[in-house]
Structures are given as C-alpha cells and as structure tokens.
Chain A
C-alpha cells in the first residue's frame, strides 16, 4: 500500500510547528531524535501503512520555528499535548525515539491516563545507572550520528556522503539540544520519580550496541514504569529505527495492535 504524506503547519504556543501526517486508524505520534529527522524513513512508512501517523519536527528543529523561551523537553511535551488537543485526536499512542522518547515519557508522566500505549526506543531522560549519555558537545557533527549505528553501512544508506544542508541541520539540532538539555545533559532528575503513575503499557526497545545511551538505562525505565516490557535488539545501535527498521516497526506494530 502506498503511503501518502501530507505536510502541515500548526501553530502551538505562538510557534509554527511542521507536522507530517499519513495513514488511517489509531493515532500514533512519532517523536524524533536529538539529531532531528530526515523527511522520509522506511520506519515511518511501515507505521503509516497501519496507523494514522503524525511526525512533527520538534520546536526549533528542522522546519519548525524556534521558541526562544524553550528550556526543557518538558516544555516540548506540553506543546505536543496542546498540538494533539488542537488536532482533536484521542487515545494516541506515543512512539519516542531517543531524545523523542524522553519527550514521550514527559508527556505520559504529565497525563498518566491520556495515552493508549508507549513505545520508547532507547529513550534519554533518565540518568544511566552506569556510564554516561554520549555528549554531542565533544565530537564532530558526523561522528555523533555515526556512533549511533552498530553498522556503518546503515548510516551510509541514510545519510550518504552527508550534505552541507544536513550538517547545518545537525548544528541547529545540536544547538536545540543544548538549549533544552544542557545540564544535566540529556536527563531529568525528577522524571524517574514521576513515571510510576503512567497507566499506558510501555514497550522499551534498546539496541545492544547503543553507544549513545547506555543500554542499562532501559532497566531503569522498565523499573520506573508500571507496565513495561524491555526488549533488546541485537547488533543494533542507538538509532534503531534507522538501523533495523523492519525489526523496530514489527515490534512496534505488534505492540500497538495487540494492546
């Protein structure tokens, strides 16, 4: 089935948000990584073949306008709750990828009954029990995304030789990461205490070779949430939906369909 994506601009909190949407059925909000997102991914297409999928660009990332006042992923969570209310969609499932997983977790903690289910793919947001979240500030624009792939061929398949436009987008994404998650870097000290109220069942996925967020963080998420299943994906890095789109889409669709 062909998936037809439509780009729209929605104004939330005075900010023009870029939202891409495709498919029918259960509403699924997909929240992208700290490095932003390319326009189309096989993972998005796979979800849109089954669900009504919304992929916004985070405020300040990609084609969305920058709110100068934005300070924390919790602010982004509130903007997305506002967006969903404006769109009139309900019983939404959240699929959060890395940094987007942190935003999804914030959304769920703020409205424990609001969401149908959560799929968190290697989410940031909790301090790893061991090790640290890899710091973008110390490495080059290309080295950071590369470190999120177990297989460098998977990186090349998506980014190729990396265009200057892409480098610029990564610099902007990096600046937004600093503006919202500089200190403590990429985690919240309060989030783990607030996840216990969440009623939605959660699937937590983690690549076994995630060199950006230590996989042990998955156990911390599974413990903090009421109903969570932790599944490890072999031979896979942090950007799991890009590296193993079939596996991540299969697990996600199965989870969202049968819950």
Chain B
C-alpha cells in the first residue's frame, strides 16, 4: 500500500471575520486580506514539513492546486512539485492534480512534468483533474467545455510523452503547430497518472477506461463503494479486472499524543468546510455547463436555496462518527483506519493531516506520529489484506500497456 501525506496548504493567516462578513472566502473574497509576509512564512513552513514527512517515512507527498481562495496556497502545483523534486530524495511526488482544462497549452504542461520527473529521478505521479468551477472562473476558462478540454488535453499530453516529435495537433480545443519538446519523462512509457475525484460518475468511468487509479477524495464509505462499482463495471467492459491498485482514498486524519488535543486540532478541518458547502456561491462552484446535465434540475433548485446541498453539511461530530474525519492517539487512529481500509480496500491512501490554524509544533508532531507509527501499521495491515499499490501490483501505466486484456476477455 502506498501512503502519502497531504495538506491543502491553508493560508490561514487572514482575518476570518472579514471572510464571514463577506459571506464567502472563494473566488471574489478580496486579496487585500492576503499578507505576503505570512504567505512567505507559511510556504516555507509547509515545505519544511514535506521534508520531515519524507524523513519520518511517508511513501509520498500529495500536492494539489486551487485559485482565489485562502483554503489552498498552491496556485501552481508544478511549482511545489519542482521544488520537492530537488529537495527530497525518496518520496513519490504525487500531483493530484494538474487541472488540465485550465491549460491553454498542454504541451507546456507535458514539458514541465517531464522536467519534474527527470529532476526527481523518476518519482513523479502525474495526476490530472477537471478543476472545480471556481478554478474555471478564476482563470477565465470556459466551464461549458471543461470535460472536452480535459479529455483532449490528456490525449495531447499522452501523445507528447509517447510519440516522437515533431508532430502537429489539430484538435477541437487545442491546435499546436510543432509538438516537439526537448524534455521527456524519465519514467517509461510515462509517469503514473492517478485521477482524483469526488462526485462525477463520468470521470470514474473515463478513469477506468484508461486503467488509471481513481482516488476518492474523502467520500463517504457508501459513496466510495458506489464509485468502486462504477469503476469495476467500466473496467470489465474494457477487458480487465480492477483491483486495490486501481483505487485510492483520501481521508482527513489528525494524530496527537492525547485524544483531547487531536480532537481540538481536528476541528480545524471545519475551517475550510464552508468553501465547498456554504461559503461560496453555488453558481461559482458549478457554473453552467460544468456540471453533468443529469444533475441540472437538482442543482438549480439548490442554487436558489430551494433544496438542500447535495453534499450535505454535516457537523464535526457527525463526520467523526461517520469516519469522514479521524482524530486521536496513534492507536486510536490505527483502529479507525483499519476499519476504513477493510471497508474500502484502497491500494493508495492519502492522509490529509493538517488544516486551518493548527500550530507549527502540533502540525509537526502530527506528521511524526502519522509517518512513524500510523502509516507503518496501516501498510502492514494492507499487506495482510493483499492491498497492493500500482507498483507492487506492477500495474500497467495505461490500458494500452495491458498484457492481460485478452485473458480477461476470454474468461
């Protein structure tokens, strides 16, 4: 099992009252509340913590990207990935992911990722995402073509990595005269691609069709099982049997030496909850055309306040009770994680460990206990259950590199 450390990199040093007064801390909440001195401090602290996570034993560092919001300081995930490529030695650098539709030039992305892979000596995992609705608005990218751009940009990056240039790309959303970057990934045929997601069934099916692992982002156990069923069905149709190496799961976990302290800090996970559920306008999160047409009718009712949020808005206590958040001492956390692992059987686990305004000392103690005690115990348990990650399972990077398709199809 692959276990990785994640933080949203919260820019928590702003006037929370101003955000509450404005009624949203996404997209349009003014960056006049941003303090670069604090931003500089936090970037460097988070970087130091990634290095500690490697030192203390994490298999991977998971990175992501958001825009125009204090809940995530990473505006360019490739920036941190590039830094980590140089300052770490062992951990996988797991980008989950680059928002492909935001790119006007996917060839540039392919180049940057190839550079990161070479500098890190082959430690890149290059995840891709559609990007949330707010990311489209923040970057001026048409939400109505989001899925088309995602698929086309992926195909262009994949071709750039695998087919010798120069070639020309005349697509629907991208046209490139000369694709011939002098930077290619070290890992062959190309770095592993993992696809994280929350809601969209279409993305689960597309991911299974590529044979890429799907990383469920802190979905409920029931929703995670539904995702697996959807994936399994599409995998069978594509001619292979999905296993734990095709699934990942991200869960919020905070560990401290005492349960009391762990619970107090874990409450900080609620700091950003409003970003997804209440503190942004629904039409920012789901601009027209971004959402699946099948959800249109329910969404418009929610957006004008006639229906409840389809994602719900559970309390902290409810989320702890439902194993959506885990907090406690290492032994307490190990017990809950074992339950979760038994139920969802992932080969890849992301541990989202610190959020909001947890102190530097507590963040670091959390990472130490997590990487030093929790992760080894869960990895051992995962091995008992036969939960292999994509490397352990020697899984093909993409469906096209499968050697078992005929066998499955013949069965």
A interface residues, Cβ below 8 angstroms from B: 136-142, 162, 164, 167-168, 170-172, 174-175, 177-179, 182-183
Contacts and interface: CB of A to CB of B under 8 A. Distances in A.
B137 interface: yes
A141 B283 contact: yes
B66 interface: no
Q: Which 10 A-B pairs have the closest CB atoms?
A: A174-B288, A175-B289, A167-B300, A175-B288, A178-B144, A182-B142, A179-B144, A171-B288, A171-B300, A175-B144
A59 to B, nearest CB: 14
A51 B407 CA distance: 71
A136 B303 CA distance: 14
Contacts of A139: 281, 283
A178 B148 CA distance: 14
Contacts of B177: none
A183 B283 contact: no
Interface residues of chain A: helix, strand, loop or mixed (majority)? helix
A140 B303 contact: yes
Nearest to B281: A140
Contacts of A172: 288, 296
Contacts of A137: 137, 143, 283-284, 287-288
B17 interface: no
B226 to A, nearest CB: 25
Contacts of B260: none
B289 A178 contact: yes
B144 A182 contact: yes
B283 A178 contact: no
A77 B140 CA distance: 25
Interface string B106-144: 000000000000000000000000000000010010111
Contacts of A178: 142-144, 287-289
Contacts of B297: 164, 168
A183 B142 contact: yes
A161 to B, nearest CB: 10
A168 B301 CA distance: 9
A138 B28 CA distance: 9
Contacts of B303: 140-141, 167
Interface string B15-42: 0000000000000100000000000000
A141 B143 contact: no
Given A137-B137, A164-B300, A179 B284 contact: no
Contact of A167 (B140, B143, B284, B304): B304
A142 B300 CA distance: 10
Interface string B87-119: 000000000000000000000000000000000
29 contacts: A136-B288, A137-B137, A137-B284, A137-B287, A138-B28, A138-B137, A138-B281, A138-B283, A139-B283, A140-B281, A140-B304, A141-B283, A141-B303, A142-B304, A164-B300, A167-B301, A167-B303, A167-B304, A170-B300, A171-B288, A174-B289, A175-B289, A178-B144, A178-B289, A179-B142, A179-B144, A179-B145, A182-B142, A182-B144
A5 B140 CA distance: 41
A164 B143 CA distance: 22
A34 to B, nearest CB: 11
A164 B145 contact: no
